[in-house]
Amino acid sequence: MYGGKNRVTTKMVRDKKEEKNIHILRPLYVPVSNAIRRTFGTRGYVFAICKFLRRLPEMYFRNYINSYRSPYGYKSIDEERHKVINMQVHVLGDNNKGKVIMLLENQSHHAGFCAIWVYILNRLSFSDKMGFYHVIDWEESEFYQEDHPIHGSTSIFEYYFEQPSGISLADARKSNFVVYDWNSPEYGYNDAFHVGDNNDYRFTDKDVEQFAKIQRKYIHLHKEIELSIKDQVEKLFQGKTNVIGVHARGADTKIGYKGHPTIVTSEDYINETEKMVKKFKADMIFLATDDQVMLDQFKNAFGNRLVYYEDVIRSTSTIMNCFIEEKRENHHYLLGLEIIRDVYTLAACRGFVCGMSYVGFIVQIIKKANEECFDDFIRISKGINMDGLDLNKSTVRKKIGNDWKKELKQKGRI
C-alpha cells in the first residue's frame, strides 16, 4: 500500500500538514482580512494583499504563486511572432482525461445577479474561443447565498442553472487537466464587454449578438425552473401576446451613485411606455420593478392593463430590495429566482422599455438567444453620474448599509 501508484511521499505529508496548519488560523486571518477590506476598500495595493491572504489556504493558489511567471510568451510560426498565453495546469484527479477544464470560482460578494450573469457570459466567451470545458462555481454573495444546499448544491450558479459543459463541480475538482480562471486580462478578459471596466454600461449591439450565441449554447435553466417560469408567464399574460414589458429601477438608484446611470424617474418610464402602448395598441403592460412607489404610479397610469408579479419584495425608500431580510423559506434563493423570472418574462414581451441596467442587458441577450427581436425597444439614458456617492469606497458602502439597517429596524423588517 506504500508503493506504486498509491505511494505516500514526504512532500504530500508536508503539504497536508501545511494546509491543516493554515486552516487552524482561519478564524484569525478571515476577520482580519475582512476588516482590511472594509477599511481600505476594494481597489489598490492593500486590497490586493487582502485577497492574497484570503486565498493562501488554497493549495493550488500557493502552487500558482510558487510557479508564477509572466503569462505572455511568443512563438515564431512561419517567421511571424504569435502571442502565447501560458496557463498553469492542475492535475486534481483522473476524471475527464483529454478535456481542458477551465474552473471559475467567482467570489463577487456585492454584485447584482444580472451583473454576474453578464460576467459569466464573458468568461464563457473566452472558453468557447479556446475550446475549453467551462465549469462555474459562484461561491459568495450577501444577497443570494443560502446556508444550506439548494437542488443539492452549495454553488449559487447551480441553484438555477445546469453546468455549461455538462461537467459537475464535484467532477471538475477531480479532473485530470484543470485551468483556473483567474479573471485576468491575459485570459481574454477584455475581449468583450465586462462588468467593472471603464466601458461599464456601454453595451453595444455587437456585445448582445456575441453573448446571445453564448447564452443559447451554454446557459440552461434547470428543467423544473424553466417549466415553472413558462407556466407563470402564460397565467400572467392570459393568452395575450401584444404585451409591452418595462423594467424600471428605483429604490437605491435615487441616491445617485458616482459612475452609475443618472436617475430615471417614474414619469420618464411612464411617458415612454405610453408611447409604445399607443403605437402597438397593447393589451397589457408587464412591469418588473424593485420599487413600490414606482409600481403604484404605474397602476394609476395604466389601471387594469398593468400586470406584475405580486410575490416580489419591493422597497418603499432607497433601500435595495435584496437588502431586505424577509422571513420566508429560502429567501436568498428566491431573490435570485425572482430576478430570473422577471428577465424571462420581459423577454417574452413584444416591446421593451428600460433604463441603463444589467437586467436590461440580459433581457436583450435572452430575446436574441431565442432568435427573436423586439418590435420596439427603448432604453432611457440620461448619461452617467460624474459625482455622487462612490461605491468603490468601503466606508461609503458601510455607511449606506448601516443607514438601511437602522431604517429597516425601525420598520420591523430586520
Section 279-308 average pLDDT: 94
Cell of 33: 482580512
Residue whose grid cell is 474552473: 103
Convert the pLDDT of each residue in 153-189 to its tens digit.
989 999 999 999 999 999 999 999 998 886 655 555 5
Nearest to 146 by CA among 395, 337, 304: 337
Convert the pLDDT of each residue in 129-149 to its tens digit.
889 999 998 878 888 889 899
Q: What is the pLDDT of residue 106?
A: 76
Q: Which residue has the higher pLDDT, 75 or 209?
A: 209
pTM of this prediction? 0.77
Taking 60 as the threshold, does the pLDDT of residue 71 lie above it?
A: no
Cell of 103: 474552473
* β-bridge mates for residue 153, sequence order: 150
Exposure string for 338-366, b = 16+ CB within 10 A, e = fewer: bbbbbbbbbbbbbbbbbbbbbbbbbbbbb
**Three-class SS state of 243:** strand
Cell of 47: 486590497
* β-bridge mates for residue 287, sequence order: 246
Residue 80, phi-psi category: left (phi > 0), alpha (psi -120 to 50), beta (remainder):
beta
Distance CA 157, CA 225 (A): 13
Q: What is the DSSP string of 71-85?
A: SEEEEEETTEEEEEE
Look up residue 327 and give its amino acid.
K
β-strand 80-85 against 72-77: which pairing, if any?
antiparallel
Nearest to 106 by CA among 155, 159, 49, 146: 155
Nearest to 104 by CA among 121, 86, 91: 121
Taking 60 as the threshold, does the pLDDT of residue 302 lie above it?
A: yes
Contact 136, 167 (CB under 8 A): no
Q: Which residue has the higher pLDDT, 198 or 149?
A: 149
**Three-class SS state of 266:** helix
Convert the pLDDT of each residue in 42-69 to its tens digit.
556 777 777 777 777 777 677 767 665 5
Report which DSSP code applies to 313: -
Q: What is the pLDDT of residue 19?
A: 47
Report which DSSP code applies to 287: E
Nearest to 245 by CA among 254, 237, 257: 237
Nearest to 143 by CA among 112, 117, 107, 105: 112
The pLDDT mean for the chain works out to 81
Nearest to 85 by CA among 133, 134, 131, 130: 130
Look up residue 10 and give its amino acid.
T
